[in-house]
């Protein structure tokens, strides 16, 4: 491990968790993100659901969201298994990377260390997906707990459960997004197997994609609508 490797790994971690913090607390205070807009839509969804007598549509949506989380959790487990298998054949992996142009001198111990780092990134994503799956389950329970308006004279109970359900849905979405962020960054992490400079480049490119999708994408413009009055 060289000094440049340590710098590149530190930069990777800083971009990973730094962007998560900035997104959570507002990267651009005057420009809401795509996640901010979708949080409001999730709250509005549960308020609307509280006025419906039959909520099969809502439960189907929750089930669909949950199945999507389950798919990525399963895919992450398979990826972790592939990394563990690569650890058992580190000498072959080293010989493969040593033949790639521009790759720094490969060492088995260094390759094993990098594979362990990749397993950590994927493991983090798996735990995020697992908790998101559970939170969507809780979300479905809160959805079912919303009483019909006719059984709730002043509507306070229904409004309370709608608010709780919306907040639970937002929490589940945040953990799912964190898991997806780890998956995307694991692709950038692969650049480290070529060299630390490539890790810095690939991490920067993925960070650029994150910022663009959250603040300057077409999806963000569609989700925004009239939710916020931008200054």
Tens-digit pLDDT profile for residues 34-57? 999 999 999 999 999 988 888 889
If pLDDT is split at 50, 70 and 90, which confidence band does 152 have? low
Q: Which residue has the tokens 């260094």?
A: 110
Question: Average pLDDT of 202-212?
Answer: 94
pLDDT digits (tens, 9 = 90+) for 62-97: 999 999 999 999 999 999 999 999 888 877 777 766
Helix H, strand E, coil C: the string for the chain is CCHHHHHHHHHHHHHHHHHHHHHHHCCCCCCCCHHHHHHHHHHHHHHHHCCCCCCHHHHHHHHHHHHHHHHHHHHHHHHHHHHHHHHHCHHHHHHHHHCCCCCCCCCHHHHHHHHHHHHHHHHHHHHHHHHHHHHHHHHHHHHHHCCCHHHCCCCHHHHHHHHHHHHHHHHHHHHHHHHHHHHHHHHHHHHHHCCHHHHHHHHHHHHHHHHHHHHCCHHHHHHHCCCCCCC
Does residue 29 have a pLDDT over 80? no
Does residue 127 have a pLDDT over 70? yes
If pLDDT is split at 50, 70 and 90, which confidence band does 102 have? low
Distance of alpha carbon 97 from alpha carbon 189, whole angstroms: 15
154, 218 contact by CB (below 8 A): no
185, 121 contact by CB (below 8 A): yes
């Amino acid at each position: 491990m060289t000094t440049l490797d340590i710098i590149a790994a530190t930069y990777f971690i800083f971009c990973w968790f730094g962007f998560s913090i900035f997104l959570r607390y507002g990267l651009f205070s005057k420009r809401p993100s795509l996640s901010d807009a979708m949080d409001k839509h999730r709250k509005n969804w549960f308020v609307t659901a509280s006025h419906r007598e039959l909520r099969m549509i809502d439960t189907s949506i929750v089930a669909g969201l949950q199945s999507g989380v389950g798919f990525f959790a399963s895919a992450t487990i398979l990826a972790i298994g592939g990394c563990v298998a690569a650890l058992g054949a580190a000498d072959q992996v080293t010989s493969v990377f040593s033949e790639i142009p521009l790759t720094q001198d490969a060492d088995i111990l260094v390759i094993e260390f990098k594979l362990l780092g990749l397993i950590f990134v994927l493991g983090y994503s798996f735990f995020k997906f697992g908790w998101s799956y559970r939170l969507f389950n809780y979300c479905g329970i809160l959805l079912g707990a919303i009483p019909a308006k006719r059984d709730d004279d002043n509507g306070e109970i229904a409004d309370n459960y709608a608010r709780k359900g919306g907040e639970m849905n937002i929490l589940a979405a945040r953990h799912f997004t964190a898991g997806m962020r780890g998956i995307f960054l694991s692709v950038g992490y692969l650049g480290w197997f070529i060299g630390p400079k490539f890790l810095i480049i690939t991490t920067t490119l993925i960070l650029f994609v994150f910022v663009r999708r959250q603040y300057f994408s077409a999806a963000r413009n569609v989700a925004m609508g009239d939710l916020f009055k931008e200054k």
